[in-house]
Amino acid sequence: MAVGAPTSLPHLPEIPGFRLATAACGIKNGQATRDDLLLVAMHPQTSVAGVFTKNLVHAAPVALCRQRLPQGGAAALLVNSGNANAVTGEAGMRDARDATKAVALLLDGDPDTVFVASTGVIGVPLPMPRIFDALPDLAARLQPGGWDKAACAIMTTDTFPKAAQRIFICHDRACHLVGMAKGAGMIRPDMATMLGFLFTDAAVSPATLQTLLTRAVATSFNAITVDGDQSTNDTVLLFASGQVGNPPLDDPDHPAAAPLAKALEELCQELAQAIVRDGEGATKFVAITVTGAAHPDDAKKAAMAVANSPLVKTALAGSDPNWGRILAAVGYSGAALDPNGLSLWLGEVQVLEQGCPAPGYSEAQGASVMAAEEIAIRVDLAMGTADFTAWTCDLTHGYISINADYRT
């Protein structure tokens, strides 16, 4: 059901400072039919930055990463799919910590520099013996490259792997940036059941890396929604190995950091949009832009209210130009507005002009826009100059089928 899904992953280069391996160890139900464990080993000088779910009920790996992030250094990343290790109490924290100890032992590192992420069913203990059994072989098979297999190993209900890359110049050196993500449901700003891992060989200080990641996430992973639900496990981690040898970037606003900032925002948007395209049951890919807001927060509130509205999303599924539902969502979004100032476009077709149906608009024009697989909706608030774009998908029978039967 994915909308505009790529037929294959792009070529993803080896990046100095990172070695990968994946394994199938049957984490979800004991049947090791597909890869569900990913280990990434990193050069000891690697910097790390992270953004996590704001859900108060967060998973053990999220808590552990948050504890370890302030040190700023990373030696490894262990990711499992099939089990979220969430709502597992103290035992879950112990399991997460134990896994990092095992990785550190195998890589001869410090457990506090091992990061972990989990995704899958909530409330079920991690099958630690399976993971312990798999780790020695995994560590022995680490090798440069293999991003495509890694992107597959972190999938759950995803129908295609999501990975992308950019090249950027830093202090005259060409640098790599590769990223992968998973997520197809339980997605909204603040990144529900979304994992994203980004890797560069540029040298960047942890603080600068954190600022650049936070900025890039705001207009990418935090600008998408599939169902408005927010997960216990959302995690985006960015690792910088420094192996390209540039003078370390230590000011996010220095011109030397601009190419990385741009590459990072583009890559995060490409991955975030891939998640929406793979939204559970999605048949449409929709960009919702709000312009003319008095404040950036207003623009975001209005765009996200439209993007999350079940009535808008079912209208999209039915190719129904039911623009009243869009207006209603803008109206309850909490954004400052005057109903008589609102204008609305479906694609290039103006539907509403300052609060009234636009002269000459016909239902047939609207229906023609809504019939497409990719749809752009724009609302102008006429209150100021701030804008925001959110990406979402439609709400279909497919979403119901996937989520009414996910576990049983």
247 Cβ contact partners less than 8 Å away, ≥ 6 residues apart:
171, 203
69 Cβ contact partners less than 8 Å away, ≥ 6 residues apart:
48, 49, 50
Residues 380-399: x/- map of binding to its own copies (CB under 8 A)?
A: ---------------xxx-x
Smallest gap from residue 84 Cβ to its own copies (A): 7
Number of residues that bind its own copies (CB under 8 A): 65
Whether 7 is catalytic is no
Instruction: Using the rule CB under 8 A, give the single segment among 16-24, 55-63, 129-137, 285-293 that binds its own copies.
Output: 55-63
DSSP states of 225-259 as a string? ESSS---S--EEEEEE--TT-PPPB--TTSGGGHH
Which of 96, 236, 329, 377 is the binder for its own copies (CB under 8 A)?
Answer: 329
**Residues 36, 385: Cα–Cα separation, whole Å:** 46
**Residues 136, 105: Cα–Cα separation, whole Å:** 10
261 contributes a contact to its own copies by CB under 8 A: no
123 contributes a contact to its own copies by CB under 8 A: yes
Task: Return the residues of window 308-327 that contact its own copies according to CB under 8 A.
Answer: 308-311, 314-315, 317-320, 322-325, 327
Residues 129-168: x/- map of binding to its own copies (CB under 8 A)?
A: ----------------------------------------
Identify the bridge partners of residue 165 per DSSP, sorted by sequence position. Answer: 178
Smallest gap from residue 319 Cβ to its own copies (A): 7
By beta-carbon proximity to its own copies, the closer residue of 17 and 228 is 228
Tell me the Ramachandran region of residue 148: left when phi exceeds 0, alpha when psi lies from -120 to 50, beta otherwise. alpha
85 contributes a contact to its own copies by CB under 8 A: no
Nearest to 294 by CA among 327, 240, 337: 337
Residues 191-230: x/- map of binding to its own copies (CB under 8 A)?
A: -x----------------------------------xxxx
Nearest to 146 by CA among 166, 163, 168: 163
Three-state DSSP state, 310: helix
The answer to whether the beta carbons of residues 183 and 230 sit under 8 Å apart is no
**Residues 199, 176: Cα–Cα separation, whole Å:** 8
* Catalytic entry in 22, 88, 113, 193: 193
Smallest gap from residue 155 Cβ to its own copies (A): 18
Instruction: Using the rule CB under 8 A, give the single segment among 38-46, 107-115, 333-341, 382-390 that binds its own copies.
Output: 333-341
The answer to whether the beta carbons of residues 354 and 390 sit under 8 Å apart is no
Tokens of 194: 């979304």
Instruction: Using the rule CB under 8 A, give the single segment among 43-51, 52-60, 65-73, 253-261 that binds its own copies.
Output: 52-60
Smallest gap from residue 53 Cβ to its own copies (A): 8
Nearest to 125 by CA among 94, 161, 162: 94
Nearest-5° Cα angle at 388, 257 to 346: 135
Which of 256, 367, 372, 382 is the binder for its own copies (CB under 8 A)?
Answer: 367
231 contributes a contact to its own copies by CB under 8 A: yes
The answer to whether the beta carbons of residues 153 and 81 sit under 8 Å apart is yes
174 contributes a contact to its own copies by CB under 8 A: no
121 contributes a contact to its own copies by CB under 8 A: yes
Which residues are tagged catalytic? 193
Point out which residues bind its own copies (CB under 8 A). 54-58, 84, 86-89, 91, 121-123, 185-186, 190, 192, 227-232, 308-311, 314-315, 317-320, 322-325, 327-332, 337, 339-340, 342, 352, 355-357, 367, 395-397, 399-401, 403-408
